[in-house]
A and B are shown apart, each in its own frame.
Chain A
Amino acid sequence: MDYRLELRNVSKSFGEVQALENINFQLGRNEIVGLLGDNGAGKSTLIKILTGYHQPTSGEILFNGQKIDRLTVPKARQLGVETVYQERALAELQTLWRNIFLGRELCNRWGFLDIKKMRDETHRLMSQSMGFTSTAVSPESHVGTFSGGEKQGVAIVRALFFDAEIIILDEPTMGLSLKETAKLVNFVRGIKEAGKSAIFIDHNVVHVYNVADRIVVIDRGRVAGEFLTKEISLDTLMEKMIRVAESGSLD
């Protein structure tokens, strides 16, 4: 089977704490995988291994069937992974255009910034994808003045701009209004239609169930189970989630 992304027997420990234990995880082509699990189950650690932020203690990471040694954040981005982090990863005192191009500034070979192009692109993204209609917002606006939904919009558009093949969304609906959440769910469907892959993490089982092709349940650092959404009903999934949180077993 040809996977976009695969983890083989990945473990991660922070000192004494075993955050992940022998995780096997696959993300297929044009597949949306929902990642569910209680707080502290290891979802965010798993994500940060995929994005190159944490190095696994042991195990292998494969992109398109090729093993990658020492995955770093820039390397993961080169491989087409873009992430909308739970903590949003914005620099709030800085302008919008600096945030859109955070860590990926457009510059010439001597490292001088192409500020005009970054502003233009930001302006285009703002009007076409972020839905900023207010004239008070410009590429020069400081991100710290934005609402929660607007900030999330920035984080999402940033992930999209760079032609990502794999989009990881870590708790993207946190702090969003109902309308903003609906828009986000539509956005995740858009990823699927565009032929790309995504990993979607959320506390809300309903959101995940509605967009994911497959659901992976993580509990106490292990994969507790996997389901295809077409083969399981939402009610059964909910029951299993509660059972796993209480007993550590799905059945």
Chain B
Amino acid sequence: MSSTTEEKAPEVSQTYKETFSFRRFARANGTQLGILGVFLALWLIFIVTAPDTFLKPQIYYAFMSTIPFFAIMAIPLTIVVVAGEMDLSFPSIMAMGMVAFLLTYQATVSIDSIPLRVLISVIAALLTGLLIGWLNGFIVVKFGIPSLVATIGTQFLWRGAVLVLSQGKSGTLSYVKESFLYPTLVGKIGGVFPMQMIWLILIAILGWVLLNRHKFGAHIYLIGDNVDSAELMGVNTKRVRIQAFMLMGLVAAFAGVVASFHVVYFWPSLGEGYLMRTLASVFLGGTSVFGGTGTILGTFLGAFIIGAIEAATVAVGLTGFWTQFIYGLIIVLSVIMHTYLRKRLK
């Protein structure tokens, strides 16, 4: 360090200690506190209006069984959106991963052990997801096509590939029950607690660590905030964005495997119902569509709000027709809240 200013450096302790102030805490965690408030308020409303349902554990086991299928994809999608990108192709990646699974399973008939065949097939599915993710990233970065547009294209492309390769046929996966992967991925601990919830928690923690405690996440935030600054300061913005898409592809393929194992069946339409819920979880959680800000905790809570509304609408005594209306209302109000909080807490 050169001496740059004439004035004497004031006495400072070498370590920096932040004194706790609620104001600062609220500033730093505004959107997370906001979504936590929405989450708790809705929960309270559900308990008050339908105590029979929401004071018993069964409904929570049901949530933990179905919500992880899209919630695990919302984690890497958060990372992609924080980087200022978008991915709409993950539902097709789910299905394409399963096609790779089936093709690999058929190609390994010479292997006697079914558990080994299932394991190899799962690895093939994950690699396929990784590869499709890489291709998404490559198209976006190499040709400079907005990722929203590029992944609309690849979404159709891979769904088409699934239909061509599977000839539109669905089929049972009953053999996976012989593999240790079946209880590991979709089993129930103690007969009640779904394993997919454990996987969601694991992926959420990994996503949080990656985004908040790793160089990769630091660069994701910087790229989403100001890609030119990141580039000028030597961040390899292309590589990091491709990696984000690869992560999305990998996790989408994993979600496809988990969802298919859960029903022990393969549908060529696998994933089609998940697009909007996954996107809604991310935006409900306070991640900005403009990039640069967003949290894993927000997405996690967002996913549970989205997942609970459907059951809650019915439990509260409204007909199922209300579900979408209430979805829409909560999403619109929450996004307005986030925008307001972002402006106020600056």
Contacts and interface: CB of A to CB of B under 8 A. Distances in A.
Chain A partners chain B: yes
B2 A191 contact: yes
Interface residues of B, number: 37
B229 A186 contact: no
B181 to A, nearest CB: 28
A103 interface: yes
A187 B232 contact: no
Interface centre among A93, A104, A163 (most CB of B within 10 A): A93
Interface size class of A (residues with CB under 8 A): 35 or more
B1 A190 contact: no
A18 B225 CA distance: 31
A144 B3 contact: no
Contacts of A128: 9-10, 12
A145 interface: yes
Contacts of B230: 91, 102-103
A145 B346 contact: yes
Contact of A120 (B1, B16, B216): B16
A127 B12 contact: yes
A186 B9 contact: no
Interface string A125-139: 001110100000011
Contacts, number: 125
A191 B1 CA distance: 10
Nearest to A102: B233
Nearest to A142: B346
B219 to A, nearest CB: 8
Interface stretch (A111-119, A202-210, A235-243): A111-119
Contacts of B14: 120, 124
B178 interface: no
Contacts of B346: 142, 144-145
Contact of B234 (A77, A139, A163): A77
B235 A113 contact: no
A163 B346 CA distance: 32
Interface in A186-204: 186-187, 190-191, 193-194, 196
A232 interface: no
Interface of A: 51-53, 72-74, 76-77, 83, 85, 87-94, 98, 102-105, 107, 111-113, 115, 119-120, 122-124, 127-129, 131, 138-140, 142, 144-145, 160-161, 163, 183, 186-187, 190-191, 193-194, 196
Interface of B: 1-7, 9-10, 12, 14-16, 18, 24, 28, 213-216, 218-219, 221-222, 225-226, 228-235, 292-293, 346
9 contacts: A73-B232, A88-B229, A92-B225, A94-B225, A103-B235, A107-B215, A112-B213, A186-B4, A190-B3
